[in-house]
Structure 1
Amino acid sequence: MGSKISPILANIVMSVLLKYCIPLLPFQVPITYQYVDDLLLAIPEDRTATTLAVFNNYDPHIKFTAEEETENGVPFLDTKAIRCAGNIVKLDWYQKPTSSGRYIHYSSNHSWAMKTNLIKGMFRRIKKICHPDFLHNSEEKLLKIFENNGYPRMFLNRCLHSLTSDQVDEVPQIRTSTLVEPATHDKYVSLPLIPPLTGVLFSQTKDRIHTMSRSDVVYRIPCENCESVYVGQTSQCLKRRISIHKSDARLRPDRCALASHSSSLDHHFKFDEVEILCTNSNYNKRSFLEMCFINENENNINKKTDLKNLSVVYSYLLSLDRRPSRQT
């Protein structure tokens, strides 16, 4: 217990155990689910003792206990499999009776992003787990739990309704009485560290984020018809910001300097050649960096108001940096 390899070994042992024990049962098992060392089986009502005997005889060091169906349902992890008419199994959200229901409190000194993501993550999980027949009751139950943790109902409803359809895969969790085939999984291998060689072969271990998918950036867009450039900053995804620029250039020429330049001179910008100058998640720092880059680009088309907050001291230092150094 506690080792990183424990769940891997448990999965391997349980997979081998199932392949050995299931054929020994004197009846057909239409539904079999396994998660690490937890099993969900559909067996005849009077065959629980027989099933336990087969599984517990596999190895003297492995012993199972059984939780039988009550009120047409049985818990499995954080779900409850409920048997309905027509041999259909529907899933509901489940919490153990010992669950404290305590989450990050509304008045705790955590960031709003963490609190919001917690609420959205819990609602998103319920939407993925629950069958539509049980979804409303589960949502109300979760709302009550968060209210007990100090969250206002208005704030909770806003988080709930802000979940878009692309954030939640609302596929009804309906299972019929059919044997589930083992799922195929990706295979992974570990490679030894060879100091002179590993760093060369795996110099980039993370996938690069596409330019248009980055956010919290200061960017520069060149004009296609002249040498002018526009410098801007955004916290949004750059692709969305570029779309707004294109729309402003056509419909709202007074919106920004880029739109005004494009509309008044009938110039077009090379949006596909947008360059990210720097990245910073802090708005004030990002705005300061934007002013510095505007000041650095002498052929910029930005408005003078874009530089109004730049100190004359910084402006002077930046101008010195642009001067060619004297050769002695």
Structure 2
Amino acid sequence: MVGILLFTNAGLAMGQRLAPVLAICFMSRIEQPVLARMPQMYCRYIDDCCLITSTQSEMDECFRILNQKSQYIRFTREAPQDGWLPYLNTKVKLSNGTWTMKWYRKESSKNILINASSAHPATMKRAVIRNMFKTAKKVCTGDDERYELLELASQIESSNGYSV
């Protein structure tokens, strides 16, 4: 492709070293009016936000505020399924004023890890398994959820050739 110059007139180019830092700075300016409203919970990872408010009308207003702050970003929202709302690798449930969290894996996840018989260093294989169990344990707030997800981690471990 000789003689073709591509440029962007808005946003950040993927892979730029400064892109994550600039995205965080950009988002911190957008979220300020919402944080001033003191939501029950607000967390963000780069540009993925999780917001819990006390009423639906407050949620609608926060969503409106976020979407009016910049013409270059549009937020979407998900409705809880069976009371659970996915956020990154977790699911959050708010019931009777109590939050419950558990480890979440997308349905498209194939549960494929480094196979036990692969040529990868043993330390790497141990780290992958250890971190999967650590995530299942630490992310879950309830004993029932923790037990369920440790069982899932054991199944994933076994299906990838590791002895349980």
TM-score, normalising length: structure 1: 0.42
**Residue among 14, 28, 44 paired with 1:15:** 28
Q: 1:128 — aligned with what?
A: 138
Residue 38 (structure 1) shift: 1.0
CA distance in 2, matches of 1:151, 1:126: 17
The answer to whether 1:116 aligns with 2:111 is no
Residue 10 (structure 1) shift: 1.5
Give 5+ residue unaligned stretches, structure 1: 154-328
**Residue among 72, 95, 113 paired with 1:103:** 113
Once the two structures are superposed, residues 59-104 of structure 1 have per-residue CA deviations (whole angstroms, 9 ceiling, x without a partner) of 111111101222222111111112133x111210001112121110
**Residue among 126, 138, 148 paired with 2:149:** 138
**Residue among 140, 155, 160 paired with 1:149:** 160
CA distance in 2, matches of 1:51, 1:118: 38
Does the CA contact (< 8 Å) of 1:48 and 1:66 recur in 2? no
Residue 152 (structure 1) shift: 2.3
CA distance in 2, matches of 1:70, 1:139: 22
* Letter paired with 1:57: Q
Does the CA contact (< 8 Å) of 1:106 and 1:151 recur in 2? yes
Partner-residue secondary structure (3-state), 2:56: coil
Residue 126 (structure 1) shift: 2.1
Does the CA contact (< 8 Å) of 1:21 and 1:58 recur in 2? no
Residue 21 (structure 1) shift: 4.0
Does the CA contact (< 8 Å) of 2:39 and 2:52 recur in 1? yes
Identity %, equivalent residues: 28
Partner-residue secondary structure (3-state), 1:104: coil
Once the two structures are superposed, residues 227-261 of structure 1 have per-residue CA deviations (whole angstroms, 9 ceiling, x without a partner) of xxxxxxxxxxxxxxxxxxxxxxxxxxxxxxxxxxx
CA distance in 2, matches of 1:99, 1:61: 30
Query: Residues 3-42 of structure 1: matches in 2 within 5 Å?
Result: 3-23=16-36, 29-42=39-52
CA distance in 2, matches of 1:54, 1:20: 7
Residue 55 (structure 1) shift: 1.3
Q: How many residues align?
A: 149
Structural RMSD (CA):
1.9
CA distance in 2, matches of 1:21, 1:84: 23
Which structure has the larger Rg?
Answer: 1
Residue 45 (structure 1) shift: 3.2
Query: Residues 62-101 of structure 1: matches in 2 within 5 Å?
Result: 62-85=73-96, 87-101=97-111
CA distance in 2, matches of 1:122, 1:29: 31
Give 5+ residue unaligned stretches, structure 2: 1-13
Residue 33 (structure 1) shift: 1.1
